[in-house]
């Protein structure tokens, strides 16, 4: 029975309980709603004609044959779009992406024209009949080349105006650089020159992608009085703002509805198909659905490939005294959120180590490939791959124990992070020690003999949550005492609805299972910056907690108003009857949260308050390497995270395990193959992801018992953190097993085998 | 234009009729004409299992199965498993073990696990892995699915 | 997929009449699992498909006799997988099925389709070739019999005429022969093979009388490795003999590079896995 006398300090009844997921029944019965399988009456299907060249001027697009196909309603190019949206460019950081290719194409797969039909097969057939002529231009593919190349992906840069650190790039020409973040702490040059030992390595990561099993989909239903978009988006509020901007409308005429997402991992952030669907619906004056096929995912968004040049100076006692990080991010043809990846991950590029002299340059670069965006870690997994491989390589060369070497350098509570932010609630050493304990690190380890050799390795990492961002929540108590939560956090599988309901339940002392979490609809659910970067549980969690507390205080006021004594446990339902004479009325609580923040100082990148919270993880791997073929078997993978107080321990466990396994795919075999800008493996047949047999033989997933002092109920996010250390832990283990060092992902059998052969002085020929 | 033809089949126990064209697959048919969205087309290549349906007692990939080919067949979809509002033991087990995240692949897993337990009521880890090789989960809930299969096996024995 | 027409003849002879020897846009479809992929990718755009699903039931089913198995071309891989006769006469086939694609594909794909498709990445063709299978082909001019190894002529190419169909596969009994199939993947474990190696040997303990060694996936087509077979025939298995067989196969194979590996790497895989497959067969381990 609901009571209004709940003391919020009595934590534990709802928070910390493995509540079965609220949407479980809809998901296991196949009845959960997703945009990709949604239909609205009278809707047209759009199919896209895409560029076959990486960089070129469009000489002509011939749509005449397509238009003649019976059943085709319209064939649309940028010229048609411009008639309804005069400035048809969109994007979160730069307004650089045209709704359809505009004069130029900048990557293979860029949409050039769209066919509309009531029958998607007819639209498909018509797309095959479209032809385009291009004047091919030289293209730039590599991120390091892009910095100095004379090939420019964009003639003029057009920052969106949202981010202060991009303003100086307005109208910039003759550059591919979409952001240069720099951090300067101490005097790197001097300290490096004086260091007893100097190390310099380069690491690379490959192009991989999110591959959400529900591919991107948007249905736009434009009317002159308002527009509704049903869309598979991680950020309905941003979509609303951007659609309103494109239309020149007030936001209140734009409605964004988001059902469950068939996952996102960062791939459905900001704005993707929404602008195109809007334009097509405006032209057709009907609802239009744009839904990608799996193959088309390869032309939508990917993770950033990255080149990381890292230099460290170490003194005679094994203390790292200087570090220089040059990080090149391959952003693809449109910036998407790449500049934020560049900055927000850039500021932790030197790792969880206490180093007095640090130099970081982090560059977002345009190239002629599918755009890159955020993928489960906002760049941090690429950085950790490099700096934790680098750490082991140094320890090995210095003949230092990798544990002791890290222990000598690791950041500790109360110390300064590289940015000068004082480290708090960041259990770096504890995470590492827990991994070592779970791996019996101090015990003898069987290295194997003969063909199969065994090894083990680990890594430790830190990330700063993207700051500052805002979340708003509403808690609505109905007159029967039932409670609904309105929040814009999108449950794309991470279990946020359940966790948020638990927070509401905790404050109002009701069962989490009884809380209704309203589906995302910007007409109803208030602003949220976006479901990204592990921010939601913390930021939206605070907003939800405040909204519930507000409702609780209003219920208490209501009780006082009707003459209930302090501490009364009158059921809420009766409270409403007493006040309104019948089952009537509502109590609405609202909450808003935005953390404090000091932006990094221009020039030095330093800040005393750079992030709302730190995410920390460590991973350890035991591997068996087949020395005759290079096959690597993961015998054991231990993942330990500091995610504060787990709101729902079971969901936390599945997030750790899921994140680590996803990163395992990126580590071992996933790779988007490109040949002159052409994707050569755009299908699940040729781009493989982990399946049942690829999971480690033993997998341990541990959430440390720690409390985030500024978090809601001591909690913080956990969506990304288990991805961080998987790649270097495995590379370090391979080195331990067979004495070879791989510096480029993926660590596939051929790469390992080639390294083994090279080490033996019998390198395998190239082709 | 190629004409539609009429096919008759049994859908979740009820006889039904549909007009299909040769190039329509089973997933499209179920979604467009019967409003059943539990079978979904993800990879489009029979590799991920999101489109799983049961035809004449055998699991097939609905995305690779021409709709014309189910003329006269018995077709069962995930929507039949909670007939009467009662979840099947496999569905219960998936909820209790949290063996899903985004849920897009879940109906396919639920159907395949049901088939697996029909064939192997007490499956070994190896049997489970081999049987579910063709079901992928990008959220990587494999350890939880393994637990769900074992719990479901227990529930079915108890039932 | 773009629209096409579909015919569903009731007999094999009727199906053959519907096929056009000169028109590549008319093709037969059995289970369709492979063809659908090509159609969805736009690699194959049919005008008309001729479904074989309604032809005489005698073309689906397995008949065992003293000398082996006659498997109707329309028999699904799932039926073969579950067949007690197959398990008895050619257990290597049964074992191969476990890692062949997945349950749903096996429930639909037919053995005739798996052979006629000419895809070098399939697991069954090398195993059947190593077992010495022959096929019966029916065309407008009647029947002909062909050793399976003579079916494949190149990458996705066979010696079948466009209006010929495989009617039946004849698989000699494995009997006391030792056999193994090894599927090697370089992506995820459930990937298409980067290499398939099938070996079937007459052997007395470690003494090999004769051997058939077939390599697939890494090569343009499933190919008998006759030099490796020669290196094994009449030899007693030891490390040196195994190495010679592996080296011989590695030297002879016509290898294709793709996302699963370069030519030199696949050559090394062949070298290692021919050795391992022979060893597994001798040790009675069967399949990888």
Q: What is the pLDDT of residues C48-88, one digit of tens each?
A: 999 999 999 999 999 999 889 999 999 999 999 999 999 99
Same domain, yes or no, for C88 and C160?
yes
What is the distance between the alpha carbons of residues A21 and A404, in angstroms, rounded to a whole number? 42
Residue C220: give the domain boundaries. 178-282
pLDDT digits (tens, 9 = 90+) for A213-272: 999 999 999 999 999 999 999 999 999 999 999 999 999 999 999 999 999 999 999 999
Residue A720 annotated in active site: yes
Taking 70 as the threshold, does the pLDDT of residue A390 lie above it?
Answer: yes
Neighbours of chain A (3+ CB pairs under 8 A): B, C
pLDDT band at A1 (very low <50, low <70, confident <90, very high): very low
What is the distance between the alpha carbons of residues C287 and A748, in angstroms, rounded to a whole number? 23
Residue C237 falls inside a structural domain: yes
Taking 90 as the threshold, does the pLDDT of residue A626 lie above it?
Answer: yes
Nearest C-alpha in C relative to A753: C265
Q: Are B132 and A692 in contact (CB < 8 Å)? A: yes
Residue A169 falls inside a structural domain: no
Residue C163 falls inside a structural domain: yes
Taking 60 as the threshold, does the pLDDT of residue A71 lie above it?
Answer: yes
Q: Are A213 and B95 in contact (CB < 8 Å)? A: no
Pairing assessment for the beta strands C62-65 and C48-51 based on DSSP bridges: unpaired
pLDDT digits (tens, 9 = 90+) for C183-222: 999 999 999 999 999 999 999 999 999 999 999 999 999 9
pLDDT digits (tens, 9 = 90+) for A482-513: 999 999 999 999 999 999 999 999 999 999 99
3-class secondary structure, A388: helix
Q: Are B136 and A215 in contact (CB < 8 Å)? A: no
A530: alpha, beta or left? (left if phi > 0; alpha if psi -120 to 50): left
**Which A residues, 559 through 588, put their C-beta within 8 Å of a C-beta on chain B?**
none
B127 contacts on A by Cβ (under 8 Å): none
| Percent of chain C scoring above 70 in pLDDT | 99
Of C33, C102, C107, nearest to B133 by CB-CB distance is: C102
Same domain, yes or no, for A91 and A229?
yes
Residue at which a domain ends, from A291, A325, A352: A291
Residue C288 falls inside a structural domain: no
Residues 6+ apart with CB under 8 A from B84: none
pLDDT digits (tens, 9 = 90+) for C234-276: 999 999 999 999 999 999 999 999 999 999 999 999 999 999 9
Q: What is the interface size between A and B, counted as CB pairs within 8 Å?
A: 164
pLDDT digits (tens, 9 = 90+) for A99-123: 999 999 999 999 999 999 999 999 9
Residue A19 falls inside a structural domain: no
Residue C287 falls inside a structural domain: no
Nearest C-alpha in A relative to B140: A658
**Cβ atoms of residues A480 and A573 within 8 Å:** yes
Same domain, yes or no, for C71 and C163?
yes
Residues 6+ apart with CB under 8 A from A48: A111, A112, A113, A114, A115, A127, A290, A296
Q: Which residues of chain B have pLDDT under 70?
A: 1, 159
How close A628 comes to chain C (CA, Å)? 7
Catalytic residue among A214, A429, A506, A720: A720
CA A170 to chain centre: 26
Residue A173 falls inside a structural domain: no
Taking 70 as the threshold, does the pLDDT of residue A713 lie above it?
Answer: yes
H or E segment at A478? strand A471-478
Alpha helix (H) ranges present in A53-128? Answer: 64-68, 78-84, 120-127
Residue C260 falls inside a structural domain: yes
Asked if the C-beta of B48 comes within 8 angstroms of chain A's C-beta atoms, the answer is: yes
CA-CA-CA-CA dihedral for A623, A626, A632, A636, to nearest 10 = -20
**Cβ atoms of residues C51 and C133 within 8 Å:** no
What tokens were used for A767? 């082709």
What is the distance between the alpha carbons of residues A417 and A348, in angstroms, rounded to a whole number? 9
Same domain, yes or no, for C166 and C64?
yes
Write the ipTM.
0.98
Residue at which a domain ends, from C126, C155, C172: C172
Residue at which a domain ends, from C172, C192, C217: C172
CA C136-C140-C143 angle, to 5 degrees, is: 25
Residue at which a domain ends, from C172, C199, C217: C172
Residue A248 falls inside a structural domain: yes
Taking 50 as the threshold, does the pLDDT of residue A2 lie above it?
Answer: no
CB atoms inside a 10 Å sphere around CB B75: 25
CA-CA-CA-CA dihedral for A724, A729, A730, A734, to nearest 10 = 150
Chosen for mutation from B31, B35, B64, B140 (greatest number of chain A CBs closer than 10 Å) is B140
CATH number of domain containing C27: 3.30.43
**Cβ atoms of residues A256 and A231 within 8 Å:** yes
For chain C, the domain total comes to 3
pLDDT digits (tens, 9 = 90+) for A642-701: 999 999 999 999 999 999 999 999 999 999 999 999 999 999 999 999 999 999 999 999
What is the distance between the alpha carbons of residues A315 and A194, in angstroms, rounded to a whole number? 8
CB atoms inside a 10 Å sphere around CB A106: 27
H or E segment at A559? helix A536-561
Average confidence (pLDDT) over A308-313:
98
What tokens were used for A24? 């479980």
CB burial class (10 A; 0-12, 13-18, 19+) of residue A355?
buried
Average confidence (pLDDT) over A417-446:
97
Average confidence (pLDDT) over A376-403:
97
Of B24, B40, B128, nearest to A36 by CB-CB distance is: B40
pLDDT digits (tens, 9 = 90+) for A520-564: 999 999 999 999 999 999 999 999 999 999 999 999 999 999 999
Q: Considering only CA atoms, which of C54, A336, A29, A676 is closest in space to residue B12?
A: A29
**Can you give the pLDDT at residue C287?**
53
Residue at which a domain ends, from A244, A270, A291: A291
CA A615 to chain centre: 14
CATH number of domain containing C89: 3.30.465.10
Average confidence (pLDDT) over A11-36:
93
For chain A, the domain total comes to 3
Task: Compute the Cα dihedral for A11, A14, A19, A23 and give only its sign.
Answer: negative
**Can you give the pLDDT at residue A10?**
47
Ordered domains of chain B (ranges, CATH)? 5-79 (3.10.20.30), 83-158 (1.10.150.120)
End-to-end CA distance of chain C: 36
CATH number of domain containing A556: 3.30.365.10
Taking 70 as the threshold, does the pLDDT of residue C34 lie above it?
Answer: yes
CA A13 to chain centre: 31
Same domain, yes or no, for A457 and A502?
no
**Can you give the pLDDT at residue A7?**
41
Q: Are B59 and C3 in contact (CB < 8 Å)? A: no
**Can you give the pLDDT at residue A9?**
38
A749 contacts on C by Cβ (under 8 Å): 186, 261, 265
Average confidence (pLDDT) over A447-472:
97
Same domain, yes or no, for C41 and C127?
no
**Can you give the pLDDT at residue A705?**
84
The answer, as to whether pTM is greater than 0.95, is yes
What is the distance between the alpha carbons of residues C185 and A749, in angstroms, rounded to a whole number? 9
**Can you give the pLDDT at residue A8?**
39
What is the distance between the alpha carbons of residues A378 and A464, in angstroms, rounded to a whole number? 10
Asked if the C-beta of C25 comes within 8 angstroms of chain A's C-beta atoms, the answer is: no
Same domain, yes or no, for A548 and A491?
yes
Same domain, yes or no, for C63 and C160?
yes
**Cβ atoms of residues A63 and A241 within 8 Å:** no
**Can you give the pLDDT at residue A6?**
41
Residue at which a domain ends, from A291, A318, A339: A291
Residue A581: give the domain boundaries. 24-32+469-593
**Can you give the pLDDT at residue A242?**
98
**Cβ atoms of residues A93 and A335 within 8 Å:** yes
B104 contacts on A by Cβ (under 8 Å): 34, 212-214, 262-263
Average confidence (pLDDT) over A599-603:
90
pLDDT digits (tens, 9 = 90+) for A558-596: 999 999 998 888 999 999 999 999 999 999 999 999 999
Taking 60 as the threshold, does the pLDDT of residue A452 lie above it?
Answer: yes
CATH number of domain containing C187: 3.30.390.50
Same domain, yes or no, for C82 and C163?
yes
């Amino acid at each position: 029975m609901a009571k209004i006398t709940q003391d919020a300090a009595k934590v534990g009844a709802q928070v910390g309980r493995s509540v079965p997921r609220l949407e479980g029944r809809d998901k296991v019965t196949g009845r959960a709603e997703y945009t990709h399988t949604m239909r609205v009456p009278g809707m047209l299907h759009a199919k896209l004609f895409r560029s076959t060249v990486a960089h070129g001027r469009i000489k002509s697009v011939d749509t005449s044959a397509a238009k003649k196909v019976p059943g085709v309603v319209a064939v649309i190019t940028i010229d048609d779009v411009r008639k309804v949206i005069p400035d048809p460019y969109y994007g979160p950081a730069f307004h650089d992406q045209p709704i359809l290719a505009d004069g130029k194409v900048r990557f293979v797969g860029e949409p050039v024209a769209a066919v509309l039909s009531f029958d998607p097969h007819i639209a498909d057939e018509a797309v095959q009949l479209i032809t385009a002529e291009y004047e091919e231009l030289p293209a730039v593919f590599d991120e390091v080349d892009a910095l100095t190349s004379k090939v420019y992906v964009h003639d003029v840069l057009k920052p969106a105006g949202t981010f202060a650190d991009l303003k100086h790039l307005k109208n910039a020409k003759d550059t591919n650089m979409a952001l240069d973040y720099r951090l300067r702490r101490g005097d790197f040059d001097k300290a490096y020159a004086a260091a007893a030992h100097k190390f310099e390595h380069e690491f690379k990561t490959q192009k991989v992608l999110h591959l959400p099993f529900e591919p991107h989909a948007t249905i736009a239903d434009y009317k002159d009085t308002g527009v509704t978009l049903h869309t598979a988006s991680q950020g309905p509020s941003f979509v609303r703002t951007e659609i309103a901007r494109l239309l020149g409308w007030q936001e209140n005429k734009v409605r964004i509805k988001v059902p469950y997402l068939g996952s996102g991992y960062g791939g459905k952030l900001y704005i993707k198909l929404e602008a195109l669907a809007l334009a097509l619906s405006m032209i057709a004056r009907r609802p239009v659905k744009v839904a990608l096929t799996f193959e088309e995912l390869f032309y939508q968004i990917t993770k950033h490939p990255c080149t990381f040049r890292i230099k460290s100076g170490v003194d005679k006692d094994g203390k790292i005294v200087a570090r220089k990080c040059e990080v090149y991010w391959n952003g693809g043809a449109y910036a998407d959120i790449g500049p934020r990846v560049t900055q927000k991950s850039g500021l932790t590029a030197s790792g969880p180590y206490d180093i007095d002299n640090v130099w970081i340059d982090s560059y977002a670069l345009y190239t002629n490939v599918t755009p890159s965006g955020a993928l489960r870690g906002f760049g941090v997994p690429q950085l950790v791959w490099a700096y934790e491989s680098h750490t082991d390589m140094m320890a090995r060369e210095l003949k230092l124990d990798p544990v002791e070497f890290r222990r000598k350098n690791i950041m500790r509570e109360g110390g300064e992070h590289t940015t000068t932010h004082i480290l708090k609630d960041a259990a770096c050493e504890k995470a590492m020690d827990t991994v070592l304990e779970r791996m019996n690190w101090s015990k003898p380890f069987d290295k194997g003999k003969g063909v199969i050799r065994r090894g083990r390795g680990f890594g430790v990492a830190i990330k700063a949550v993207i700051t500052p961002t805002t979340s708003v929540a509403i808690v609505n108590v109905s007159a029967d005492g039932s409670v609904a939560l309105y929040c814009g956090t999108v449950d794309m599988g991470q279990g946020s609805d359940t966790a948020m309901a638990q927070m509401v339940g905790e404050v109002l002392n009701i069962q989490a299972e009884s809380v209704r979490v309203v589906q995302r609809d910007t007409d109803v659910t208030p602003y949220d910056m976006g479901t990204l970067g592990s921010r939601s549980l913390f930021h939206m969690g605070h907003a939800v907690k405040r909204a519930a507390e507000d409702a609780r205080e209003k219920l208490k006021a209501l009780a006082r108003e009707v003459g209930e004594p302090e501490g009364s446990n009158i059921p809420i339902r009766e409270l409403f009857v007493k006040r309104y004479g019948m089952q009537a009325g509502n109590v609405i609580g609202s909450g808003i949260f935005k953390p404090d923040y000091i932006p990094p100082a221009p020039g030095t990148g330093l800040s005393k308050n750079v992030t709302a919270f730190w995410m920390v993880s460590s991973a350890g791997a035991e591997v068996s390497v087949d020395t005759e073929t290079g096959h690597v078997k993961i015998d054991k993978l231990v993942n330990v995270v500091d995610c504060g107080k787990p709101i729902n321990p079971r969901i936390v466990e599945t997030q750790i395990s899921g994140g680590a396994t996803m990163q395992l795919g990126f580590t071992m075999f996933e790779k988007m193959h490109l040949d002159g800008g052409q994707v050569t493996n755009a299908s699940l047949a040729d781009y493989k992801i982990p399946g049942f047999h690829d999971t480690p033989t033993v997998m341990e997933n541990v959430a440390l018992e720690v409390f985030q002092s500024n978090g809601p109920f001591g909690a913080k996010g956990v969506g990304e953190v288990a991805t961080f250390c998987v790649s270097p832990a495995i590379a370090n283990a391979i080195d331990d097993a067979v004495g070879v060092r791989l510096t480029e992902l993926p660590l596939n059998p051929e790469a390992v085998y080639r390294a083994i052969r090279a080490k033996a002085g019998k390198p395998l020929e190239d082709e | 234009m190629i004409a539609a033809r009429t096919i008759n089949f049994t859908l979740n126990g009820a006889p039904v009729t549909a007009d299909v064209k040769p190039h329509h697959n089973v997933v499209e048919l179920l979604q467009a004409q019967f409003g059943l969205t539990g079978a979904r087309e993800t990879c489009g290549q029979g590799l991920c299992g999101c489109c799983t349906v049961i035809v004449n007692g055998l699991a097939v990939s609905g995305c690779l199965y021409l709709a014309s080919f189910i003329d006269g067949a018995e077709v069962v979809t995930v929507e039949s498993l909670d007939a009467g509002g009662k979840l099947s033991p496999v569905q219960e087990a998936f909820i209790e073990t949290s063996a899903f995240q985004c849920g897009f692949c879940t109906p396919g897993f639920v159907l395949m696990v049901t088939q697996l337990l029909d064939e192997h009521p007490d499956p070994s880890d190896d049997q489970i892995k081999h049987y579910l090789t063709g079901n992928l989960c990008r959220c990587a809930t494999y350890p939880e699915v393994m637990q769900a299969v074992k719990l479901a096996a227990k529930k079915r024995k108890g039932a | 997929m773009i629209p096409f027409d579909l015919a569903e003849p009731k007999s094999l002879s009727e199906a053959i009449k519907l096929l056009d020897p000169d028109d590549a846009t008319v093709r037969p479809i059995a289970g369709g699992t492979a063809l659908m992929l090509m159609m969805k990718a736009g690699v194959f755009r049919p005008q008309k498909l001729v479904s074989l699903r309604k032809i005489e039931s005698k073309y689906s089913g397995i008949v065992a006799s003293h000398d082996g198995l006659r498997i109707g071309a329309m028999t699904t891989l799932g039926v073969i997988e579950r067949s007690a006769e197959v398990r008895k006469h050619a257990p290597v086939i049964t074992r191969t099925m476990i890692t062949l694609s997945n349950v749903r594909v096996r429930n639909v794909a037919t053995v005739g389709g798996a052979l006629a498709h000419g895809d070098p990445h399939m697991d069954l063709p090398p195993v059947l070739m190593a077992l010495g299978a022959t096929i019966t082909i029916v065309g407008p001019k009647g029947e002909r019999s062909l050793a399976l190894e003579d079916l494949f002529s190149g990458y996705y190419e066979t010696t079948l005429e466009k209006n010929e169909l495989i009617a039946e596969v004849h698989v000699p009994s494995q009997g006391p022969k030792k056999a193994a199939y090894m599927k090697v993947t370089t992506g995820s474990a459930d990937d298409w093979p980067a290499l398939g190696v099938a070996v079937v040997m007459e052997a007395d303990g470690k003494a090999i009388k004769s051997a058939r060694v077939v390599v697939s996936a890494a090569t343009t087509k499933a190919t008998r490795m006759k030099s490796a077979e020669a290196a094994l025939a009449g030899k007693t298995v030891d490390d040196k003999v195994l190495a010679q067989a592996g080296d011989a196969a590695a030297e002879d194979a016509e290898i294709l590079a793709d996302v699963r590996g370069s030519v030199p790497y696949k050559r090394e895989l062949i070298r290692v896995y021919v050795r391992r497959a022979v060893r597994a067969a001798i040790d009675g381990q069967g399949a990888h």
